[in-house]
Amino acid sequence: MASAPTSKYNSHSLENESIKRGTFFILIDKEVIYICPFNGPIKGRVYITNYRLYLRSLETDSALILDVPLGVISRIEKMGGATSRGENSYGLDITCKDMRNLRFALKQEGHSRRDMFEILTRYAFPLAHSLPIFAFLNEEKFNVDGWTVYNPVEEYRRQGLPNHHWRITFINKCYELCDTYPALLVVPYRASDDDLRRVATFRSRNRIPVLSWIHPENKTVIVRCSQPLVGMSGKRNKDDEKYLDVIRETNRQISKLTIYDARPNVNAVANKATGGGYESDDAYHNAELFFLDIHNIHVMRESLKKVKDIVYPNVEESHWLSSLESTHWLEHIKLVLTGAIQVADRVSSGKSSVLVHCSDGWDRTAQLTSLAMLMLDSFYRSIEGFEILVQKEWISFGHKFASRIGHGDKNHADADRSPIFLQFIDCVWQMSKQFPTAFEFNERFLITILDHLYSCRFGTFLYNCESAREKQKVTERTVSLWSLINSNKDKFKNPFYTKEINRVLYPVASMRHLELWVNYYIRWNPRIKQQQPNPVEQRYVELLALRDEYIQRLEELQLASSAKLPDPSTSPAGPSQMMPHVRTHF
Amino acid sequence: MEHIRTTKVEQVKLLDRFSTSNKSLTGTLYLTATHLLFIDSHQKETWILHHHIALVEKLALTTSGCPLVIQCKNFRIVHFIVPRERDCHDIYNSLLQLSKQAKYEDLYAFSYNPKQNDSERLQGWQLIDLAEEYKRMGVPNSNWQLSDANREYKICETYPRELYVPRIASKPIIVGSSKFRSKGRFPVLSYYHQNKEAAICRCSQPLSGFSARCLEDEHLLQAISKANPVNRYMYVMDTRPKLNAMANRAAGKGYENEDNYSNIRFQFVGIENIHVMRSSLQKLLEVNGNKGLSVSDFYSGLESSGWLRHIKAVMDAAIFLAKAIMVENASVLVHCSDGWDRTSQVCSLGSLLLDSYYRTIKGFMVLIEKDWISFGHKFSERCGHLDGDPKEVSPVFTQFLECVWHLTEQFPQAFEFNEAFLLQIHEHIHSCQFGNFLGNCQKEREELKLKEKTYSLWPFLLDDQKKYLNPLYSSKSPKFAVLEPNTVSFNFKFWRNMYHQFDRTLHPRQSMFNIIMNMNEQNEQLENDIKDLESKIKQRKSKQTDGILTKELLHSVHPESPTLKTSLCFKEQTLLPVNHALRTIEGSNPADNRYSEYAEEYSKSEPGVVSLEYGVARMTC
């Protein structure tokens, strides 16, 4: 886990790094003082490669104190000037995307911070210096190729598609219909490609309603899209109305199509002013519209900022609970989960097809469809299934990772940045807490995904959409995060996982049951003793191993006793009694 | 029973306050001498012990009937709708009477009969032997001795007969000191730390007023500090907030003046009094659902109730105490006002941190017997067993249990018992089903002849031990010798399984522990099978060695290769997908089908913890 650099890496990982192809040292052995917010100033030496920053302590047995991928850096500031007084007042202050800040104090003489500042700026924000993002230089090799994990045709086939109501279309093969959608789309059989083109004119950024998931039994579907371009004048589009009706008709069980607009009602109305809006009752007779009250990316960004304020560097002590509440972070989590539960319930119990959108259909929509699918389809709760879910609903459908995370970009205050994907992973974590046996992966898996969401070591989360990724040949030129994970799956497995088919998970999305993900948000604080591995998991793994040992032992004994004893008069009591335990293994 | 007018009402609705769909169950309500029983149309029974009822409310008549809301001391809230107002009124009146008894003799424990004979009953009472416990701690010894001063409850009515005091403290000193302490509760030994030779002592506040002194009391404290050969300094912990202690001075009580006592370090630790705790719990229950669950300000409500802050205060005090002994090797004297509430909390929790014995099932019983029951925590008043002064009711013991629960959360491997054990004990401090918690002190209990007329709870819990075992317990790990809890803010959480124990929506951890428990049992079974087989093989071996088969046996030792081979490929199989291996075993052996049991656990939607109540009910039938 790259998340806990202290003590995780011993000193020779430095040497390893230099051997690893694709990385090279840029700054070696620079003496700085790391102002650790927990343990005070630590004298150390900084090493910077084109991928990470290391700090080796000069005080405590040259232990590695820091190991930070440069991709994690969101902002580098100079603190103090050549004339500032006071100890450790001159240096650099680095803000990271993963809930921490790093402070280095340097000697004031001779502009000693200049080279470090320039190198960090250059390699943490390569886009501004026309340098490639590190993922394109990374030459790591894994014995599994993560890029093969997701194949849309296979995934749709797994869902039983195409069928006689739904077809796969290649209309967007060259990203001409919609440049932020994937090449391959699933649409109603009865809608022609021309219909699709006409519908595209009425949906924001041409993101037409397409199928995300189909229920294996009742054949209801989750369909995703962007908002309709209704505008102030309340424009209508016959093709769009007809298209939604066609979607509704693929499911004969209920006479209405359910539309979930993820936004709060007022926001949806306000969007009319900029040409957007929502499906009105008069225009769409056979649809019911519900608003899910999930706030926009800006609200989420500010909320997470407040979380950071109360957990880093110091954890709010005296008013912890009310401060936590005032960040509204858990409330947003609750709303997202509640929305997804409604979608899942509508599809599974309500037997109604569901259309989900927000404004552009790439943030809240992705959260809702992917979480609902996670609740409905146990396949997505396996490690590979989850990778496919992320690859499909987030990456291929154009969640704007580049804009939301700002990979290699220096504009830390960019209003496009927002922790939407983090919020999704948090929701998944909340679910895994409530259903500890339902997921094949563990917490470490989720944290690893989040770490590499920022690290730029892998190509997985680069760029905003599939067309851009294709243009940059990302799959050819970079390594996939899933290569790392799938080549070492055991590390990411939840020992309690019990595979269950067709069980719908409905998490309880009430404040009483949601908690702050301490192991992620407060992980830099040494006061949280992360019990690694978790004692419950550990005990279970021990018991499993013990059982295997016993069973093996028993097997050996049985073989020994049966081989030894051809005499039938004495044997039946023994082995036959034991057989049930063992026979099963053959 | 003279209080019961209606014993059976049909067509009563029971509302589930945790259910989101506002569903209700229809069934029949029965009123028995001890319980209120509701049987729904699925024949599911809900038993409510009259003694558990904290509050009965009859709400305004609605179109569907007359609502009757019952709040229980185990935090259950039931909402019935009785079709006819007259029935509702009858039940309401009966419950008012039945839930508040005037005499001890009318409590359930005096009629409860688990079908045991007198010797079994007596054995049950002898299960926990405090003399034995003091011996375990290492007293009496050269510094501490058993005092007979209170043998007849002459010095202090609320203390036990047997008290341990410093050997050099003579009887006149003890008597003198007791006159200078509120309610005569003079400093005595609560826990002796054998390795450190340091002691935890407890008492009540001194009657010092603004300037009064008592030489005997000063001598007694000196004797305590002298009984510690390593550190002559001792701490005196006043567990009250300083302001409260100062206010007590005006009433002729107060706290020790450091100038008058040699070698003491005086320290306030600021735990609030029983009235603050009572209203804090009230607020906690309000934000958490007494008035509906859809509160959006759950966290700030939780905070403003102050409950978790109080829990933290108790915990911090215990940590201070444990540190004084472990780090400084100092003896500590703990008191509050009367020395039976906060003092019991801090002494018992401190001992629990220091001594892993108290983290076992039996040890925890001993701890409660010692620091709570024998030293006169006023259970009957604090739990409101009888119709008495509501201002004496306070969740002091509940707080202690909650502190222990927080410790089990932080140190999941350090405790032999699980959460269900704590919940069950909490259930019974209010149930009045057993004699242990009746009365307010030992003297009163003897007068009530509890040991002859009622049963002790502990043997029943021990019989059911399996239900209360923590599968993660690692008794031998030196890591958990002394617990050093971390009291950072986010470690204090709302104890859902206590205050919302009747919320059936979710109990995930329990299911994980069940899995581990089952796995444990499976392994034990396997272990037994192996032993069985081994002994059988051995037997045969010895038979055969004298027989002709000797040659063949030698031969059979060799062909180990097939055995090895199969086990190897088996190993591979299990190493890859652990769960597949699991399934194959279970699939063919329904007897230990973990998966189906687990699925059942879920579909039942009635978690193990909830069945506690049925446990009570079943015992009574």
Question: Each residue of A533-574: pLDDT tens digit?
Answer: 678 888 888 888 888 888 888 888 888 777 755 554 444 443
CA distances A518 to A356, A414, A526, B32, B232, Å, are 31, 27, 12, 49, 43
- CA dist B186 → A364, B181, B233 (Å): 66, 6, 19
Q: Residue B490 and residue A522: Cβ atoms within 8 Å? A: yes
pLDDT of residue B511: 74
Mean pLDDT of B504-509: 58
User: Which residues contact residue B482 at a Cβ distance below 8 angstroms, ignoring those fewer than 6 apart?
Assistant: B322, B326, B353, B354
pLDDT at A83: 81
**Residues A272, A312: contact at Cβ < 8 Å?**
no
Question: B398 near B281, Cβ under 8 Å?
Answer: yes
* DSSP three-state, residue A541: helix
Structure confidence at residue A511 (pLDDT): 85
pLDDT at B559 exceeding the cut of 70: no
Determine the pLDDT at residue B592: 32
Q: How many helical (H) and strand (E) elements, i.e. helices and strands, does chain B have?
A: 25, 14
Chain B neighbours among A 171-230 (CB < 8 Å)? none
Q: A38 and chain B: CB distance < 8 Å anywhere?
A: no
Cross-chain CB nearest to A535 (options B412, B562, B574): B412
Instruction: Give the mean model confidence (pLDDT) for residues A34-54.
Output: 91
Residue A31 neighbours by CB distance under 10 Å: 12
β-sheet with B66-72: strand ranges across: B45-49, B35-40, B24-31, B8-15, B77-82, B66-72, B53-58
Is there a contact between A581 and B529 if contact means CB atoms under 8 Å apart?
yes
Report the pLDDT value the prediction gives residue B500, as an integer from 0 to 100. 85
User: In this complex, is the C-beta atom of B488 within 8 Å of any C-beta atom belonging to chain A?
Assistant: yes
Please check whether residue B61 touches A, CB under 8 A. no
Q: Does position B381 have pLDDT exceeding 60, yes or no? A: yes
User: pLDDT band at residue A584, thresholds of 50, 70 and 90?
Assistant: very low
The percent of residues in chain A predicted with pLDDT above 90, rounded, is: 74
Q: How many CB atoms lie within 10 A of CB B620?
A: 18
pLDDT tier at B294, thresholds 50, 70, 90: low
Contact between chains at A578 and B532 (C-beta distance less than 8 A): yes
The answer to the question of whether A359 is labelled as a binding residue is: yes
B472 has a pLDDT exceeding 70 = yes
Q: Which residues pair with A40 in a beta bridge?
A: A36
Crossing angle between the packed helical segments B274-285 and B396-410, to the nearest 10 degrees: 70
Residues of B in contact with A434 (CB under 8 A): 506, 508
- Using the beta-carbon criterion (under 8 Å), do B566 and A586 form an inter-chain contact? yes
Partner residue opposite A581 with nearest CB, options B526, B563, B587: B526
Identify the weakest region by mean pLDDT among A15-24, A87-96, B361-370: A15-24
Quick one: pLDDT band at residue B556, thresholds 50, 70, 90? very low
The token pair that represents A470 in the structure block: 């294709």
Q: Are A369 and A342 in contact (CB under 8 A)?
A: no
In sequence order, which residues have a C-beta less than 8 Å from that of residue B195 and are 6 or more positions away? Answer: none
When pLDDT is cut at 50, 70 and 90, the band that residue B290 belongs to is low
Q: Chain A: nearest CA to B430, how far in angstroms?
A: 26
Q: Which residue in the set A330, A539, A548 is minimally distant from B472, CB to CB?
A: A539
Tokens of B371: 């620091």
**What stretches of A390-497 adopt beta strand conformation (E)?**
none
pLDDT at B557: 40
In the predicted structure, residue A191 carries a pLDDT above the cut 80: yes
Residue B493: count other Cβ atoms within 10 Å of its Cβ.
14
> A578 versus B238: which is more confidently predicted?
B238
Which residue in B has a C-alpha nearest to residue A569's C-alpha?
B540
Say if B489 is an interface residue toward chain A (CB within 8 Å). yes
Report CA-CA distances (Å) from A260 to A334, A345, A364.
16, 12, 11
| Closest Cβ opposite residue A554 in set B515, B533, B581 | B533
Indicate the helix (H) or strand (E) that contains A65: strand A64-69
Instruction: Tell me which residues of chain A, numbers 523 to 582, contact chain B at a CB-CB cutoff of 8 Å.
Output: 527-529, 535-536, 539-540, 543-544, 546-548, 550-561, 563-565, 567, 570, 573-575, 577-578, 580-581
Contact A74, A407 (CB under 8 A): no
- pLDDT at residue B573 in the model: 32
A359-368 pLDDT, tens per residue?
999 999 999 9
> What are the backbone angles phi and psi of residue B610, rounded to the nearest 5°?
-65, -30
Active site residues of B: 336
Distance CA A392, CA A150 (A): 7
Strand partners, B48: B36
Of A496, A515, A564, the CB nearest to B553: A564
Burial of A254: CB neighbours in 10 Å, binned 0-12, 13-18, 19+: middle
Is A36 annotated as belonging to a binding site?
no
C-alpha A495/C-alpha A442 separation (Å) is: 8
Instruction: Kindly state the tokens that stand for B78.
Output: 């039931």
Say whether pLDDT at B590 is over 60: no
Please name the residue of chain A whose CA is at the shortest distance from the CA of residue B567.
A552
Q: What is the mean pLDDT of chain A?
A: 89
Minimum-distance CB partner of A498 among B556, B570, B595? B595
A7–B contact, CB cutoff 8 A:
no
Cβ of B413 under 8 Å from any chain A Cβ?
yes
**CB spacing of B496 vs A543 below 8 angstroms:** no
pLDDT at B492: 94
User: Which residues 292-311 on chain B approach chain A with CB closer than 8 angstroms?
Assistant: 293, 295-300, 302-304, 308
Residue B567 reports pLDDT greater than 80:
no
CA separation for the pair B321, B349 (Å, rounded): 9
CB atoms within 10 A of CB A61: 8
So what's the pLDDT on residue A564? 59
Please tell me whether A485 is known to bind a ligand: no
**With 60 as the cut, is the pLDDT of residue A406 above it?**
yes
* Chain A environment of B584 (Cβ under 8 Å): 584-585
Cis peptide before B166 (omega within 30 of 0): no
Q: Which amino acid is at B517?
A: M
Per-residue pLDDT averaged across A195-217, rounded? 97
B560-584 average pLDDT score: 33
Q: Catalytic amino acids of A?
A: 358
Q: Please indicate if the annotation marks B200 as binding a ligand.
A: no
Least CA distance to B496: which residue of chain A? A512
Contact assignment for A516 to B490 by CB distance below 8 Å: yes
Residue B203 has pLDDT above 80, yes or no: yes
Is the pLDDT at A1 greater than 50? The verdict is: no
Residue A536 is nearest to which of B512, B534, B591, comparing CB atoms?
Answer: B512
* Residue B388 is assigned to a ligand binding site: no
CA dihedral sign, ordered B337, B275, B349, B397: positive
What is the average pLDDT across A372-396? Answer: 98
Residue A526: pLDDT band (50, 70, 90) is confident
Query: What distance separates the 2 farthest-apart alpha carbons in chain A?
Result: 98
- Which of A 295-334 lie inside 8 A of B, CB atoms? 315-322, 324-326, 330-331
Tell me if A297 is assigned to a ligand binding site: yes
Dist. CA B453–CA B457, nearest whole Å: 13
Q: How far apart are CA A482 and CA A489, in angstroms?
A: 10
| B588 within 8 A of A583, measured Cβ to Cβ | yes
Distance CA A335, CA B368 (A): 44
Q: Highest-confidence range of A166-170, B41-45, B476-480, by mean pLDDT?
A: A166-170
In whole angstroms, what is the distance from residue A409 CA to residue A97 CA?
A: 12
B588 at A interface, C-beta within 8 A = yes
Quick one: pLDDT band at residue B589, thresholds 50, 70, 90?
very low
Collapsing DSSP states into helix, strand and coil, what is residue B471? coil
B101 contacts B107 by C-beta, under 8 angstroms = yes
Q: Does B537 contact A561 at a Cβ distance shorter than 8 Å?
A: yes
Model pLDDT for residues B250-278, shown as the tens digit of each residue: 999 999 999 999 889 999 999 999 999 99
So what's the pLDDT on residue B227? 96
Question: In whole angstroms, what is the distance from residue A47 CA to residue A27 CA?
Answer: 5
Residue in chain B nearest A536 by alpha carbon: B472
A363 is in an annotated binding site: yes
Q: CB–CB of A560 and B489 under 8 A?
A: no
Q: What is the DSSP string of B114-137?
A: -S--HHHHHHHHHSS-HHHHHHHH
Provide the terminal-to-terminal Cα distance of chain A, rounded to the nearest Å.
37
Interface contact B516-A543, CB threshold 8 A: yes
How far is the C-alpha of B120 from the C-alpha of B111, rounded, in Å?
A: 17
Question: What CA–CA distance (Å, rounded) separates A204 from B165?
Answer: 83
* Strand-pair category, B77-82 with B45-49: unpaired
With a cut of 60, say whether residue B201 has pLDDT above it.
yes
**Closest alpha carbon within chain B to A510:** B294
Percent share of chain B, pLDDT over 90: 69
ipTM of the complex: 0.86
Reported as half-sphere exposure (CB side, CA atoms, 13 A), residue B398 has a value of 21
> How many angstroms separate the CA atoms of A329 and A345, rounded?
24
Range of weakest confidence among A71-75, A314-318, B49-53, B149-153: A314-318
Between residues B524 and B291, which one has the greater pLDDT?
Answer: B524
Contact A497 B579 (CB under 8 A): yes
Mean pLDDT, to the nearest integer, of A386-413?
Answer: 97
The answer to whether the CB of A48 falls within 8 A of the CB of A119 is yes
The answer to whether B338 is annotated as binding is yes
Contacts of A57-64 with C-beta under 8 Å, sequence gap 24+, read A58/A31, A62/A11, A63/A6, A63/A7, A63/A11, A64/A5, A64/A6, A64/A7, A64/A9, A64/A10, A64/A11, A64/A13, A64/A14
Q: Does A585 touch chain B (CB under 8 A)?
A: yes
DSSP label at A423?
Answer: H
DSSP A7-64: HHS-TTHHHHHHHSTT--EEEEEEEEEEEETTTEEEEEEEEEESSEEEEEESSSTT-E
Q: How much is the pLDDT for B12?
A: 93
**Does B477 show up as a binding residue in the annotation?**
no
* Residue A501 touches partner B, C-beta closer than 8 Å: no
Closest A-chain CA to B296: A511
In sequence order, the 6+-apart residues with CB closer than 8 A to the CB of A384 are: A149, A486
List the single residue in A with minimal CA-CA distance to B536. A574
Q: Do A496 and B534 touch (CB under 8 A)?
A: no
Distance from CA of B80 to the nearest CA of A (A): 24
The runs of H, that is alpha helices, within B74-214 are 85-99, 118-126, 130-137, 171-179
Average pLDDT value over all residues in chain B: 85
